[in-house]
Amino acid sequence: MCLALPAKVVAIDKSTDTATVAVGEVKKDVSLALVDAVKVDDFVLIHVGYALNTIDQEEAEETLRLFAEAGLTDKLGNELTDEMTE
């Protein structure tokens, strides 16, 4: 099963077309090759090191809440497993 995890964009490196995203206290660099016009503070769905698309903040928060309810993340959205973003 594959899951895409919502994350907030906290920095963008235009020279490498990557972004630093945050899920709770966890930060990760991801590729922006598959999405256009992403800005700092946007929310994106990430999977295997790529941002797949942007989503609104409410949808991101609801998804993280459901992941926590299902035991996939803790209440802060911190990953319990590295497989979700590697």
Average pLDDT for 19-43 = 95
Average pLDDT for 69-75 = 73
- Per-residue confidence band for 68, with pLDDT thresholds at 50, 70 and 90: confident
Query: 4 versus 55: which is more confidently predicted?
Result: 55
Q: What's residue 54's pLDDT?
A: 97
Average pLDDT for 73-85 = 49
Alpha-carbon distance 45 to 18, whole Å? 14
Total-model pTM: 0.81
Q: What's residue 36's pLDDT?
A: 93
- Per-residue confidence band for 71, with pLDDT thresholds at 50, 70 and 90: confident
The DSSP line for 8-58 is EEEEEETTTTEEEEEETTEEEEEE-TT-SS--TT-EEEEETTEEEEEE-HH
User: Which amino acid, 70?
Assistant: A
For the chain, domain boundaries: 5-80
SS3 79: strand
Out of 3.40.50.300, 2.30.30.140, 1.10.8.10, 2.60.120.10, which CATH number does the structure's domain 5-80 have?
2.30.30.140
Average pLDDT for 76-82 = 47
